[in-house]
Structure 1
Amino acid sequence: MFKIVRKSVQFGASEIILETGRMARQADGAVLVTYGETMVLVCATADKTVRPGADFFPLGVHYQERSWAAGRIPGGFIKRETRPSEKEILTSRLIDRPLRPLFPKGYTLDTQVVATVISYDGVHQPDIPAMIGASAALAISGLPFDGPIGGARVAHIDGQLVLNPSVEQMASSRLDLVVAGTDKAVTMVESEVDFLSEEEMLDAVMFGFEGFQPVVTLIRELAAECAKPRMAVEAPVVDAALQEQVRQGYLEEIRAGYQVVEKLARQNAVGECRKRAIAALSAENSALAAEVASIFSHLEAEVIRERILSTGTRIDGRGLTDVRQIVSEVSLLPRVHGSALFTRGETQALAVVTLGTGRDEQIVESLDGESRDAFYLNYTFPPYSVGETGRMGAPGRREIGHGKLATRAVAAILPEKDSFPYTVRAISEITESNGSSSMATVCGVVLAMMDAGVPIKAPVAGIAMGLVKEGERFAVLSDIMGDEDHFGDMDFKVAGNAQGITALQMDIKITGINREIMAVALRQARAGRIHILERMQSTLAEPRADLSNYAPRIFTMKINPDKIREVIGSGGKVIRGITEETGCQIDITDDGTITIAAVDGQSAKAAETIIRRIVEEVEAGQVYEGKVVRVTDFGAFVNILPNKDGLVHISQLSGQRVAKVTDVVKEGDVVKVKVLDVDRQGRIKLTMKDV
């Protein structure tokens, strides 16, 4: 019934197995990837008919984690998987980016890749098997995929590079690097780094590239045995006569349009030229409008790229390594905890930092269980930032991806929780955009954190690099604009400082790049980010010594875990009383750590004093001022500490003989007492003699 084909190879510390023919046989291509006891089913399918009017490649990649794969039940009220998590969205993008450039022009069928984690062992992360499975499923599907690709994760542990580390190993790694590519070149890089040098990063990228080559070979072997016949795709036929008409009539005007430095004015000039070309050349045949627009776009690319390669001059007149003008400001918003406005050319990010307590941590549910993030960064890209209207609402995949990249860039500079027990939420609102808004976000957020008084380890900056490559000629561009990204061959983002790199992301639109080009890009990126850092530090050189008046004050103290029950009280009565009396927010962890958050230090000190009195151990010889809470014939009970009453026997009320207790004290009196003894049952004996 089943015609199963299975291939395997050693991949890092474990064997990876690719299997097809048993599951999901109605998909165009389906591969079950097993790595350790982690299993991912990846299916690739394409529609059989072209969507009317389709002039682009509609690829959808969907990575999904099933909680049952790890023996878990989803939290919350709805006990099933619903909308994708941030992790699933980011992994979908991770898989999409190296696949998309490998489909030929002219292929416009709706194509979908679905990767489902169906078993998770807690050791082997499922994202790399999902990427490999996507490549394998497409390779055997018969779809026009010019792969296969491979992918690998690289760690840096104790000075050594490790291929496909375990989840446990990653906890001690200075690097989380994912590399993807073909058998010839690297096409995608994504990383979070703890200040490694450019040379170390290059070595890590090439280590990953060489490490996944056996997987590329394995997929080729699988495809050779069971791939369906490749679908024929007709390359778009260009009307040579029409192409020449557009060139002769509008090339010089396009060149003139791209001499305009200001973005919107340039777009208007080129846009008007495009409209006239379409109107003139498709007046007698409206069906030619799309073809004229396509030819016009190719001429735009030719003008921009040739100018860069021939003269080293870019659209706005800059040289290859020049960074646009930078203006940075802080403390713009009076009632927030920290704020900054970072402007680089026509890209601008408004960054805001809010400080909170442990209750404000982001709760994350994943296959590994529930975790909490004390730092999170939200990136927003409203349509007005590019002078357009558009969808508003929940963040899209691009916004989540850009936010995560910026998060990775600043993760290495965050203070330790022990020294700065705050939850930090960073926001980046992109108010203008003309390229590299994610790197502007890094710069803005770093300034806003310093403005908020967050004691970061060191400031970092980010820069986006581009590439124009024709044959053997190439030019690497520093601080690319939107048009250079659109018409260029690479988007290479690097964050860090002079000490090293904290994040690196690379996407390639061509078949790949070599070590030489990456080395040039990293070298230029280092010079660029140091330049940007100098501009940032001229605005604010170091974190402010004091927090905003509107930020909470957080103090921590440690008590014996056995005393937690006394601080909380029956039904939470005691801790609620402290909160009501002082106005503080109080959190207690199982190890006895108490966090007190208050609007001012005086309130926090009052709460701390009350708690210390609750947990204080009563010892013989100590003197207290207490309140008489009950009077009996044989003595008076005095409250000396919260929930701690002691007895002053009638014989201990005075140095003279006392006939009646009420002759000396009455209920409600405040008196000074000394502890005589605390017996084994915790009963406290007090005296008022000679106190």
Structure 2
Amino acid sequence: MSTARVETSFAGQTLIIESGKLAKQANGAVTVTVGGTVVLVTACMAKKPREGIDFFPLTVEYQEKTYSAGKIPGGFFKREGRPTEREVLVSRLIDRPIRPLFPEGFLNEVQVVASVLSHDGENDPDILAMIGASAALLISDIPYDGPIGAARVGLIDGHLVANPAFGQRANSAMELVAAGWGDGIVMIEGEADQLPEAKVLEGLELALDTLKASKEIQIQLQKQIGRAKTEVKLKKTGQAFIDKVRSLALGPLNEIYNIADKGGREDAVRALFDSLTKDMAVYADCAQAGEEFSANDARGVFEALQYEVIRGNVFNRQLRADGRGLKDIRPIECEAGVLPRTHGSSLFTRGQTQSLGVVTLGTKDDEQLVESLESRTYRTYMLHYNFPSFSVGETKPMRSPGRREIGHGALAAKALKYVLPSKDDFPYTIRVVSEILESNGSSSMASVCAGCLALMDAGVPVKASVAGISVGLISDEKHAALITDIMGLEDHFGDMDFKVAGTRAGVTAIQLDLKIKRLTMDTIGRAVAQAREARMHILDKMDAVLPAPRKEMSPYAPRIVTLQIPQDKIGEIIGPGGKNIRRMIEESGVTSIDIEEDGKVIVASPDTRALDIAIGMIKGVTQEPEIGATYEATVKRIMNFGVFVEFFPGREGLVHVSELANKFVKDVNEVVKLGDKFKVKLMEKDEMGRFNLSKKQAES
């Protein structure tokens, strides 16, 4: 097999795509290199179509090899295990733009695997993997209507930057990842710090312009080394059979798609299809015409008829299946504080989509360790999305979160991230959970709304309320209708799912998935404007229930106090082997005391009295007692020459027998007992650092 190499400029560096050296038994394989980051992407296709399915069986696996960054995996087994959250999200990032570019009806299994072989810590492998997936498919014999390019855009110090490095992205107010063609976009994933829609669109324009170069070099590579595409033999359903199913189903479908209730509509559709396939003898005339057909063929025709009816209603009547107009939003209900013992909770219902939002506030001990190729960090905010089968009235085994749940949770997390307070202002670990109790479209955006209300109910001082909405598209060669607040039916039969979340000030998260091959910037602009209009309506509903964060936190949430101590006092507080800090926690009753390297001390407890005691003990170690001042002392040890007392948190001193009373004391035990408390005056601190105190001076 011959080798080939193409290259183009990439953020001041060179992007190189090579093929013909590695993984030569795959249908297509490339390595994509920028700087010291190298990604191998392979594409393989099954020889025959998979039987008994009516969907395209594409799988995408992105894997980050720890050796690529010179690391050994943690844990007992010392090898890569199940995909990390990051790997799942990048797998979805690769999958979403290429999926619409395979032929309709193509049922051969296709697997794309992207492996990070080398990582320099500056150039993110995700964009390289997206480009590599398109290139591997393009040069292979797998039917694929590419190529597409990919690019990332950031907003750094007020300037848009194409494909910023990791170091630059830390200070970016926006991050957009887009994939597409020279004249349109097929996928968007992004987040922003409450930026105006105009700035987001400007970023997308730059992304579209930037990704062209990575698309063009794929065409060059294909010319050098590309294989002839496999001819897809799609089974064609006979026209007589199509006409027969149409005559039986079209009229009833027109009636069914005027039923507003999801359950009633689905039951009617199911009953109609069962009637079409119950007795295949009704299609005898089709058999006589020499046509072959089955119940599965009937399903395909039936799906196409539903597609036709739904779209016809939108184009001709400006009407949707549940009776709404194109911009109408389903009825919204919001509640806050719905659960008695949680730290914060809410219930957000939009039509037949319902999210229960729950917030839990934790301490530093609850932070999540996140290990990546670039760094080892601790996550203080997380959002988890759960989608049980009962939310759609189904019975399925309860499993760990799937890719969809991880992806939806990540999108909702981005939407809320930019309104959260800083760690200095609010030193809590925050966990938001969205429990989807009902689903009929756009549950991720319901999670944003429910999550925001739950945060506010928990007393988290968010900067602004956040809401999200999904805009869909129904289009053909002559029409393009944008629809607001899509339901599940419109997601299934429509061309687009465009989610936008934000505040009244601007956008915080954006995600575009298409079933068609491209979307123009003009249509994207109209969709973003329509989403903003809907977002304002939802924010009005949310603000009517809870316009601002609650002033008081839940009595069940931990209270956290931070204080700063001199760094040279850290050792004294911790003590040998942690002895002192353990004693403080035990005696005060607080949940935890954490000390950071810069001297910042974080004390947590649900009991404010325990907090006060612990803070006093810490201050006692870090502050010096004042000569001449009077203190409350506790007898710790009794000697024949006097008593040792604790007069300052963590500090002991001697009250000599001559300073115990205004009279002669023959036996110390006759005057004081262990545990006695009394006032003492600090007389001096000698050259050895010992404290001498007087009881009689304090009482005079």
Q: What TM-score do the two structures reach when normalised by structure 1?
A: 0.96
* C-alpha distance after superposition, 1:626-673 (max 9, x if no partner): 234445565543332344223345665667787777787676554433
Q: Any gaps of 5 or more consecutive residues in structure 1?
A: none
- 2:393 alignment partner, one of 366, 383, 387: 387
Following the alignment from structure 2 to structure 1, what is the Cα–Cα distance between the partners of residues 332 and 51?
45
Counterparts in 2 of 1:249 and 1:648: CA distance versus 1, 3 Å: closer
Counterparts in 2 of 1:503 and 1:680: CA distance versus 1, 3 Å: farther
Contact 1:618 1:678 (C-alpha < 8 Å) held by counterparts: no
Contact 2:616 2:649 (C-alpha < 8 Å) held by counterparts: no
Partner of 1:142: helix, strand, or coil?
coil
Q: How far is 1:563 from its partner? A: 1.8
Contact 2:471 2:482 (C-alpha < 8 Å) held by counterparts: yes
* C-alpha distance after superposition, 1:459-503 (max 9, x if no partner): 010000000111142110000111111111110000012210000
Q: Give the equivalent residue in structure 2 for 1:200.
A: 199
Q: Give the equivalent residue in structure 2 for 1:445.
A: 451
5 Å matches for 1:41-52? 41-52=40-51
Counterparts in 2 of 1:582 and 1:657: CA distance versus 1, 3 Å: closer
Partner of 2:49: helix, strand, or coil?
coil
Partner of 2:172: helix, strand, or coil?
coil
1:223 aligns with 2:229: no
Tell me the amino acid that sits aligned with residue 273 of structure 1: L
Q: Give the equivalent residue in structure 2 for 1:248.
A: 247
Following the alignment from structure 2 to structure 1, what is the Cα–Cα distance between the partners of residues 182 and 445?
30
Tell me the amino acid that sits aligned with residue 308 of structure 2: E
Partner of 1:178: helix, strand, or coil?
strand
Q: How far is 1:7 from its partner? A: 1.1
5 Å matches for 1:437-516? 437-516=443-522
Q: Give the equivalent residue in structure 2 for 1:337.
A: 343
Q: How far is 1:235 from its partner? A: 3.7
Q: Give the equivalent residue in structure 1 for 2:137.
A: 138
Q: Give the equivalent residue in structure 2 for 1:126.
A: 125
- 2:617 alignment partner, one of 588, 591, 610: 610
Partner of 1:110: helix, strand, or coil?
strand
Contact 2:428 2:560 (C-alpha < 8 Å) held by counterparts: yes
5 Å matches for 1:590-609? 590-609=597-616
Contact 1:464 1:493 (C-alpha < 8 Å) held by counterparts: yes
Q: Give the equivalent residue in structure 2 for 1:88.
A: 87
Counterparts in 2 of 1:55 and 1:679: CA distance versus 1, 3 Å: same
Q: How far is 1:331 from its partner? A: 1.6
Tell me the amino acid that sits aligned with residue 494 of structure 1: V
Partner of 1:467: helix, strand, or coil?
strand
- 1:556 alignment partner, one of 562, 567, 570: 562
Tell me the amino acid that sits aligned with residue 625 of structure 1: E
Contact 2:630 2:681 (C-alpha < 8 Å) held by counterparts: yes
Following the alignment from structure 1 to structure 2, what is the Cα–Cα distance between the partners of residues 666 and 93?
72
Q: How far is 1:281 from its partner? A: 4.3
1:325 aligns with 2:324: no
Q: Give the equivalent residue in structure 2 for 1:11.
A: 10
Q: Give the equivalent residue in structure 2 for 1:209.
A: 208
Counterparts in 2 of 1:359 and 1:434: CA distance versus 1, 3 Å: same
Aligned residues: 690
Deviates more, 1:494-503 or 1:674-683: 674-683
Following the alignment from structure 2 to structure 1, what is the Cα–Cα distance between the partners of residues 55 and 665?
101
Following the alignment from structure 2 to structure 1, what is the Cα–Cα distance between the partners of residues 660 and 247?
113
Tell me the amino acid that sits aligned with residue 301 of structure 1: Y
Counterparts in 2 of 1:662 and 1:601: CA distance versus 1, 3 Å: closer
Counterparts in 2 of 1:542 and 1:657: CA distance versus 1, 3 Å: same
1:362 aligns with 2:368: yes
Q: Give the equivalent residue in structure 1 for 2:307.
A: 301
5 Å matches for 1:137-156? 137-156=136-155
Contact 1:106 1:234 (C-alpha < 8 Å) held by counterparts: no
Contact 1:466 1:492 (C-alpha < 8 Å) held by counterparts: yes
Q: Give the equivalent residue in structure 2 for 1:647.
A: 654
Tell me the amino acid that sits aligned with residue 137 of structure 1: A
Partner of 1:320: helix, strand, or coil?
coil
Q: What TM-score do the two structures reach when normalised by structure 2?
A: 0.95
Contact 2:441 2:486 (C-alpha < 8 Å) held by counterparts: yes
Following the alignment from structure 2 to structure 1, what is the Cα–Cα distance between the partners of residues 679 and 324?
80
Counterparts in 2 of 1:277 and 1:666: CA distance versus 1, 3 Å: closer
* C-alpha distance after superposition, 1:358-404 (max 9, x if no partner): 11112211112221111111111111111111231101100111111
Partner of 2:223: helix, strand, or coil?
helix
Counterparts in 2 of 1:299 and 1:679: CA distance versus 1, 3 Å: same
* C-alpha distance after superposition, 1:211-233 (max 9, x if no partner): 01011000110111001111111
Following the alignment from structure 2 to structure 1, what is the Cα–Cα distance between the partners of residues 65 and 254?
53
1:542 aligns with 2:533: no
* C-alpha distance after superposition, 1:327-357 (max 9, x if no partner): 1112221111111111111111111111111
Contact 2:2 2:225 (C-alpha < 8 Å) held by counterparts: no
Contact 1:13 1:164 (C-alpha < 8 Å) held by counterparts: no
Contact 2:124 2:166 (C-alpha < 8 Å) held by counterparts: yes
Contact 1:619 1:678 (C-alpha < 8 Å) held by counterparts: no
Tell me the amino acid that sits aligned with residue 535 of structure 1: K
Partner of 1:453: helix, strand, or coil?
coil
5 Å matches for 1:581-596? 581-585=587-591, 586-596=593-603
Following the alignment from structure 2 to structure 1, what is the Cα–Cα distance between the partners of residues 170 and 590?
35
Q: Give the equivalent residue in structure 2 for 1:686.
A: 693
Tell me the amino acid that sits aligned with residue 511 of structure 1: K
Counterparts in 2 of 1:482 and 1:631: CA distance versus 1, 3 Å: closer
Following the alignment from structure 2 to structure 1, what is the Cα–Cα distance between the partners of residues 251 and 343?
52
Following the alignment from structure 1 to structure 2, what is the Cα–Cα distance between the partners of residues 588 and 282?
79
Q: Give the equivalent residue in structure 1 for 2:631.
A: 624
Following the alignment from structure 1 to structure 2, what is the Cα–Cα distance between the partners of residues 331 and 657?
66
Q: Give the equivalent residue in structure 1 for 2:429.
A: 423
Q: How far is 1:618 from its partner? A: 2.8
Q: How far is 1:56 from its partner? A: 2.2
Q: Give the equivalent residue in structure 2 for 1:185.
A: 184
Contact 1:584 1:598 (C-alpha < 8 Å) held by counterparts: yes
1:40 aligns with 2:35: no
Following the alignment from structure 1 to structure 2, what is the Cα–Cα distance between the partners of residues 55 and 293?
9
Q: Give the equivalent residue in structure 2 for 1:165.
A: 164
Deviates more, 1:617-626 or 1:186-195: 617-626
Tell me the amino acid that sits aligned with residue 236 of structure 2: V
Following the alignment from structure 1 to structure 2, what is the Cα–Cα distance between the partners of residues 128 and 278?
47
Tell me the amino acid that sits aligned with residue 435 of structure 1: G
1:673 aligns with 2:680: yes
Q: Give the equivalent residue in structure 2 for 1:261.
A: 260
Following the alignment from structure 1 to structure 2, what is the Cα–Cα distance between the partners of residues 538 and 308?
32
Q: Any gaps of 5 or more consecutive residues in structure 2?
A: none
CA RMSD across the alignment: 2.0
Deviates more, 1:361-370 or 1:284-293: 284-293
Q: Give the equivalent residue in structure 2 for 1:289.
A: 295
Following the alignment from structure 2 to structure 1, what is the Cα–Cα distance between the partners of residues 650 and 536?
60
* C-alpha distance after superposition, 1:94-140 (max 9, x if no partner): 10000111000232111111101111111111100011111111111
Partner of 1:252: helix, strand, or coil?
helix
Following the alignment from structure 1 to structure 2, what is the Cα–Cα distance between the partners of residues 247 and 159?
57
Partner of 2:616: helix, strand, or coil?
helix
Counterparts in 2 of 1:652 and 1:302: CA distance versus 1, 3 Å: same
Counterparts in 2 of 1:667 and 1:100: CA distance versus 1, 3 Å: closer
Following the alignment from structure 1 to structure 2, what is the Cα–Cα distance between the partners of residues 68 and 129?
18
Contact 1:105 1:236 (C-alpha < 8 Å) held by counterparts: no
Following the alignment from structure 1 to structure 2, what is the Cα–Cα distance between the partners of residues 576 and 326?
50
Following the alignment from structure 1 to structure 2, what is the Cα–Cα distance between the partners of residues 659 and 381?
78
Q: Give the equivalent residue in structure 2 for 1:348.
A: 354
Contact 1:155 1:164 (C-alpha < 8 Å) held by counterparts: yes
Partner of 1:152: helix, strand, or coil?
strand
Q: How far is 1:410 from its partner? A: 0.5
Following the alignment from structure 1 to structure 2, what is the Cα–Cα distance between the partners of residues 173 and 427?
27
